Structure 1
Amino acid sequence: MDCMKGFHQNGFKPNFLKLLRIICHMGIYEYTRMPFGIKNAPAHFQRMMETIFLDEIPEGWMVLYIDDIIIYAETWEDHVQYIDRVASKCTPINLKISLEKCNFGQKELLALGHKVLGLSLAIDQNKVAAVLQKPVPRNIKEMQYFLGFASYYRNHVKHFAHMTSSLYKLCSKDVVF
């Protein structure tokens, strides 16, 4: 499930509005909703979602990631019940869900670069294909990008630290690439 226009559903306390004023030739404008691009917006929105679903998260059938809600259940009946519980939390506070972006009753899904199937987690093969098509890193920045991407999947690679130690050495200041 995906919250519709996630950050824009999140209002501000009045004393915070003045911090996001925009002054231009047409006047002074204030955001009344959280705009995209503010440094701490994702953390604030995540905290808001965790507060809303404080009772549901410990039960273990829900995962929240910013404006995405992943619900998993062993039976269709439980799945429908959990969806209803999420909806019952969203409705009173006017938190809107984008039905166009929702997928219900899926056996597997792609989330955050992973393929989730039941209780197993695998690397999204589209991400692997994208890396294989990239040229070999030619400088420190490109190597850092590659290592950052690879590190995201380190739990899927046995002896990752050992395998990448020589690549990390290439990122030090004294090394000529």
Structure 2
Amino acid sequence: MARRANLSIFKDKAGMETLNIFEVDREVQEDNPENFKLDPRDKMSREKEEPTKSIILDETEPDRTVKIGARLTEQVKKDVMNLLKEYRGIFAWCHEDMPGIDRSVISHNLAVNEKCKPVVQKRRSFNPERSAAIKEEVSKLLAAGSIIEVKYPEWVANVVLVKKKNNQWRMCIDFTDLNKACPKDSFPLPRIDQLVDAIAGHETLSFMDAYSGYNQIKMHKPDEEKTAFTTDQGLYCYTVMPFGLKNAGATYQRLVNKMFARQIRRNMEVYVDDMLTKSVTADRHAYDLRETFDVLVKYGMKLNPAKCVFGVPFERFLGYQVHQRGIEVNPEKIQALARMVSPKTLKDVQKLTGCLASLSRFIAKSTDRCLPFFKALKKGKGIEWNEVAKKPSGP
């Protein structure tokens, strides 16, 4: 058995060419051509989001809910619900709910090279909409104690606003200059392919996400002022580890590896701030969750209730659809490829190869089949979307 994909070009009546992807997410017999007839877009809803139900953690605050699997047996559902209510303190509903990880456990040290000259970035201007978004976010961070005012900082960076999926603004800081002065922390992150493979064979899963995960780790005190940034309201620096700092991911992984050392590979998997508790059988899940929750309480880490789901047989995790049978490709990745038109520019080919790279483990002989695309990326050559490139990459 092997996972296979068939890639081909379809031209509609208007002459528009579209890239079609066939049978990306199925295990098929190597020698059975009948398996390559269906367009996956006819069955993309084959395995949708697992049905869940919201439960109220505290009757005095009915708006505070979390999601649990709707298909759990009554006894398992009761056990998980009671456990979540017992440990409702592990959830954060706003920044003020996060005390943060104690500095005696971990803090983020920049280790700035003293030979590097500090940089004060030239201040950027923003339109009224963006300025209002910055002001609002600064107020929230000040109230939570995540930032403080600073005077005479040697390093000063600018704010960068990024549009989120919900059309709201995410405030980030341009730490480009500061990051150049910091050495690389080579602490290893888990290999995603090995991590998701380790989930296979587990009947019940719970997916957890830390609330503003990076912000739960505090900055090394002497390094706080180096994170200074400028706004219309003044100069501020972070007391917590902000997103965008070099080595922030390594620092976070070091923390969770320490926290969940006794559970990782046994009944838990962790990739930075994405956490998963797994149970071979559903009736053990409440026990495994309790072990996880006890660790969260011990270290003071808080979860984001809006991004957690408990007691489900499958869910999307690190870009894959994971469940007891193993892993499948994320349907959204198939849809993204199915909507693509034939590449016209070098950037289009780069986008195509990037999408295919994320699906490579599901495409037999993916390197051979994508060879025409890689050849098109060679420097000094123009884009030639010829018959070889258009040829279906399946057998």
TM-score surpassing 0.5?
A: yes
Distance in 1 between residues matched to 2:351 and 2:242, nearest whole Å: 28
Distance in 2 between residues matched to 1:69 and 1:166, nearest whole Å: 38
Unaligned runs of 5+ in 2: 1-207, 384-395
Q: Kindly report which structure 2 residues correspond to 1:15-164, keeping only aligned pairs within 5 A, or say none.
A: 15-23=222-230, 27-59=234-266, 61-164=267-370
State the number of aligned residues: 176
Q: 2:375 aligns with which of 163, 169, 173?
A: 169
Further displaced range: 116-125 or 20-29: 20-29
Structure 2 residue 207 is the aligned partner of structure 1 residue 9 = no
Distance in 2 between residues matched to 1:158 and 1:23, nearest whole Å: 51
- With over 3 angstroms needed to count, the CA separation of the structure-2 counterparts of 1:70 and 1:7, relative to structure 1, is same
- With over 3 angstroms needed to count, the CA separation of the structure-2 counterparts of 1:109 and 1:23, relative to structure 1, is closer
> Partner letter of residue 127 of structure 1?
K
Q: Percentage identity across aligned positions?
A: 24
Further displaced range: 14-23 or 122-131: 14-23
TM-score, scaled relative to structure 2: 0.42
- With over 3 angstroms needed to count, the CA separation of the structure-2 counterparts of 1:46 and 1:151, relative to structure 1, is same
Encode CA deviations 1:91-120: one digit per residue, 9 max, x unaligned: 122100122322111111112221112041
Q: Is the 8 A contact 2:269 2:277 kept in 1?
A: yes
Alpha-carbon RMSD = 1.8
Equivalent position SS for 2:299: coil
What is the deviation of 1:144? 1.4
1 or 2 for the larger relative contact order (CA 8 Å, sep ≥6)? 2
Question: Over alpha carbons, which structure has the higher Rg?
Answer: 2
Distance in 1 between residues matched to 2:295 and 2:223, nearest whole Å: 26
**Is the strand fraction higher in 1 or 2?**
2
Distance in 2 between residues matched to 1:49 and 1:40, nearest whole Å: 15
What is the deviation of 1:18? 2.6
Equivalent position SS for 2:312: coil
**Is the helix fraction higher in 1 or 2?**
1
Q: Is the 8 A contact 2:350 2:377 kept in 1?
A: yes
TM-score, scaled relative to structure 1: 0.90
Distance in 2 between residues matched to 1:21 and 1:54, nearest whole Å: 34
Distance in 2 between residues matched to 1:119 and 1:65, nearest whole Å: 21
